[in-house]
Amino acid sequence: MATMKVHGNVGSTATARVLTCLYEKDLEFEFVHVDLRSGEHTKEPYLSLNPFAQVPAFEDGDLKLFESRAITQYLAHDYANKGTQLICPGRQMAILSVWLEVEAHQFHPPSSKLVSELAVKPMFGMVADTAVVEENEAKLGQVLDVYETRLSQSKYLAGDTYSLADLHHLPNFLYLKGSRSMQLFDSRPHVKAWVDAITSRPAWSKLLALKNQK
Amino acid sequence: MATMKVHGNVGSTATARVLTCLYEKDLEFEFVHVDLRSGEHTKEPYLSLNPFAQVPAFEDGDLKLFESRAITQYLAHDYANKGTQLICPGRQMAILSVWLEVEAHQFHPPSSKLVSELAVKPMFGMVADTAVVEENEAKLGQVLDVYETRLSQSKYLAGDTYSLADLHHLPNFLYLKGSRSMQLFDSRPHVKAWVDAITSRPAWSKLLALKNQK
């Protein structure tokens, strides 16, 4: 079997999503660094791997994929027998799909906006826009109210076992941890217990170790 | 088998996504109108069906789902033998997943913003913000440049047959058709041929007929 390749950047949240999934699935891969500062992702040959000029891109033999959530779903389905089981059979998969979509359409927009304001802007010497931060903290707070109820009924989002739906939330914690916005998570007990559970998994520790090496 | 129920509003793009999928799959269902103007979606009992106070919500016997893209994926997978085949087996499914994610993360954000400015605001007597329209037309144009290349290689996004990845794009055309932004589609020949192909399907005509009845 050909080695899998991840083309990405360890500072990128979408790259972190794919790497964390590979660690959970206990799959070997080659990491190919893409230099975002020099704009390597906006030029050939990278554009042939991801025409939207974003990281990551992924290769498994002759199969070439992009979009982090499509890559993780491929790994979860096609390597179902390796490492952590991240999906489930039958109708329970429909519930898992609901929470995959909730991450993409409810959680991701405000939380990634907060990452951008509170972590990315300061890296480039810019100041966070307080109005944007407050607006997105209010939106995220409403989303987390729903999560608090859900997580009082089951330990994880799709049920009592860890799944891809939980994993997809991890990347933004790379930058939210330590920020003022963590208070939104810490003040909701079931949400806090869930964040503690998903961020203490060995696969996430491996991702943090890789990021800190670079 | 219990009848499926869709709780939604025919003016809602997310509801249209689910209804179009049901028509493609040739599945019988009961449509339960949710009155958005009176805020029915923000109160019980509706909140028990969708805690994010959005339409649609879906029931199939005792299975309750929300998030339109999770509902369509359930229908495509669990009723694979009914109506149009909207998914595919094996590794080709990974390619289809890429284009499902492209719709959600590249196409939907600018196109839904244009729907909001050019169609929703006027319905409420408000004026479109020209700067927002121009910004999102520029973003959508860049996305459609990638689509133009892709659709010069295959008739549909995931390959040579119609799939769920194409279907997911339909709802915003409810409002984009007839708007100034259609020029972005019409000026790209492969994109135009694709829009013509997906909007001329009988399932989409049924959706338009239902909307016009109400």
Provide the CATH number for the domain around residue B115.
Answer: 1.20.1050.10
How close, in Å, is residue B66 to chain A by CA atoms? 6
Gap from A146 CA to chain B (nearest CA, Å):
6
Do B66 and B58 contact (CB within 8 A), yes or no? yes
Determine the Cα–Cα distance for residues A147 and B117; give it in Å rounded to an integer.
Answer: 30
Quote the pLDDT of residue A201. 98
B80-104: pLDDT as tens digits: 999 999 999 888 999 999 999 999 9
The pLDDT-based confidence of B207 (bands split at 50, 70, 90) is very high
pLDDT mean over B131-152: 98
pLDDT at A2 over 70: no
- Do A59 and A101 belong to one domain? no
Is B79's Cβ below 8 Å from some Cβ in A?
A: no
How does DSSP classify residue A159? Answer: B
Mutation for testing the A interface, residue in B4, B101, B139 having most A CBs under 10 Å: B101
Same domain, B63 and B99: no
Q: Does residue A28 sit in the same domain as residue A112?
A: no
Under an 8 A CB cutoff, do B105 and A78 touch?
A: no
- Is the distance from CB of A146 to CB of B51 less than 8 angstroms? yes
A8 in the same domain as A46: yes
State whether B81 and B98 are in the same domain. Answer: no
Residues A71 and A118 in one domain: no
| Residue A9 pLDDT greater than 70, yes or no | yes
The CA distance from B106 to the nearest CA of chain A, in Å, is 8
A97 interaction partners in chain B (CB closer than 8 Å): 65, 67, 69-70, 73-74
Residues B42 and B72 in one domain: yes
pLDDT band for A1, please (50, 70, 90 cuts). low
Q: Please state the rounded mean pLDDT for residues B164-177.
A: 97
Q: Compute the average pLDDT of residues B72-80.
A: 97
- CB < 8 Å from A in window 3-32 of B: none
In sequence order, which ranges of chain A are alpha helices (DSSP H)?
Answer: 13-24, 46-49, 68-78, 92-102, 108-115, 121-123, 130-153, 164-167, 173-176, 182-186, 189-199, 202-213
- pTM for the model: 0.97
Give the per-residue pLDDT at B52.
Answer: 98
Tell me if chain B has a CB within 8 Å of the CB of A214: no
Residue B46 main-chain phi, psi, to 5 deg: -60, -40
* Residues of A in Cβ contact (< 8 Å) with B101: 67, 69-70
Same domain (yes/no): A65, A120: no
Please indicate, yes or no, if residue B213 is contained in any of the structural domains.
Answer: no
So what's the pLDDT on residue A213? Answer: 87
Asked if B51 and A150 come within 8 Å (Cβ–Cβ), the reply is yes
Express each pLDDT in A44-80 by its tens digit.
999 999 999 999 999 999 999 999 999 999 999 999 9
ipTM of this model? 0.96
